[in-house]
Amino acid sequence: MKISVDSVIFRNCLETVEKALPTRSTMPVIGSILFEITSDSLTFSATNLEFFIKSRMDCTNSGQGKILLPPKIVDIMRNFPSDQVTVDINWDTYRLNISGGSANFHLYGSDPEDYPVSFDIDPGQKPQVTIEQTKLKKIIKSVVFAASNEETRPAFNGILLSGKNKTLSLTASDTYRLAVKKIEDENWSLDEKNSLVPARAMRELLRVLSDQTVNIDIYSERSILAFQLEDVYFASRLLEEKYPDVSGVIPKEYKTRVVVDRKAFEDSVNRASLLAEGKNQAVNFIVQDNQLEVRVSGQEGSMEEIIPVEQDGENLELFANTRYIIDILKIIEEQKVVVDFHGEGGPLIFKMPDDQSYIYLVLPIKKVN
């Protein structure tokens, strides 16, 4: 069977699903890409058994079939010399001939019979959420960085999605910091349900999402959360861990509030981080008389810098991890950021001046060695 298609679209489909290929696996079959041919399309699928990606392109074909492609085909298409690619498949031997321009490749595919079942949802199911792709991308970015990477805390390796009526909340934490984002839509009618999605899967979803202003449908079914774009389907298994109730760690009243220029604050903390030492990368923050002083001292030197702020409340001094501060400041797009302090032993809470739907909480460092 022979097909001839645009090599750029063919390559893009392969690069999209490549993100789901495992780096290591005891199951060799999932190290391959499932290639399906129907009368009107070509479909590419890959999974690491945690999440699954399927990409589709239109193509009129005279036949149909399935074959497992070796992952090396992705690199071949990245270096392909022609705008058009011809793929000739021998279904008896699963051998492929890939040609275009001056290049002619021979690859050995394999039988797809043992490929694991896909993460498909029941056909005809209505999406629980429909949201613009660029908006979803921004929302995920605002929380996913706060999730833990430590395997000893499996619950905190996930992002908690909580639905209720017209509101969807996303929560991520590594126990030292916490990010919560709430979104509302009058068109939603969500069941009261929690879904714990692996943060790793959500990071890969960010790589799949583009900046196109098109909608994406989100489905929740049994142990799967799925995202349907125009020609890409992304699904992730849910974690079975129970996520703790973190609402109690968020103080209701601040003792000190400052409004500060985000860029000036980010630049100052970046400079301080150059001299921050130890595991905690601690920097001293002093709020006094409408000024925020950023101070650090270590074996290699010291630094002090003062930033003007709008202050409400008492003066105070505390230490915090520079990385946790930089992480939030580099993703905030607003010119100003609000920082609420809750005494020397209380958390720092970052907010946007005109957005009450998002908070980012950081625990201070109580003792600096």
Structural domain boundaries in the chain = 2-114, 129-247, 251-362
Q: How far apart are CA 137 and CA 207, in angstroms?
A: 9
What is the topology classification, in CATH, of domain 2-114? Answer: DNA Polymerase III; Chain A, domain 2 (3.10.150)
**Position with higher pLDDT, 151 vs 169:** 169
The arithmetic mean of pLDDT across residues 126-132, rounded, is: 90
Share of the chain above pLDDT 70, in %: 99
Q: Please check the confidence at residue 156 and state whether its pLDDT lies above 90.
A: yes
Domains 129-247 and 251-362 share a fold: yes
Q: Please check the confidence at residue 367 and state whether its pLDDT lies above 80.
A: no
Q: How far apart are CA 299 and CA 1, in angstroms?
A: 69
The arithmetic mean of pLDDT across residues 15-26, rounded, is: 90
CA distances from 191 to 161, 163, 241, 244, 307 (A): 12, 6, 20, 20, 46
- Indicate the pTM of the whole model: 0.91
What is the topology classification, in CATH, of domain 251-362? Answer: DNA Polymerase III; Chain A, domain 2 (3.10.150)
Q: How far apart are CA 308 and CA 293, in angstroms?
A: 9
Q: Please check the confidence at residue 28 and state whether its pLDDT lies above 90.
A: no
Query: What average pLDDT is seen over the chain?
Result: 92
| Residue 93 CB contacts under 8 Å (≥ 6 apart), including other chains | none
Q: How far apart are CA 239 and CA 242, in angstroms?
A: 8
CATH class of 129-247: alpha beta
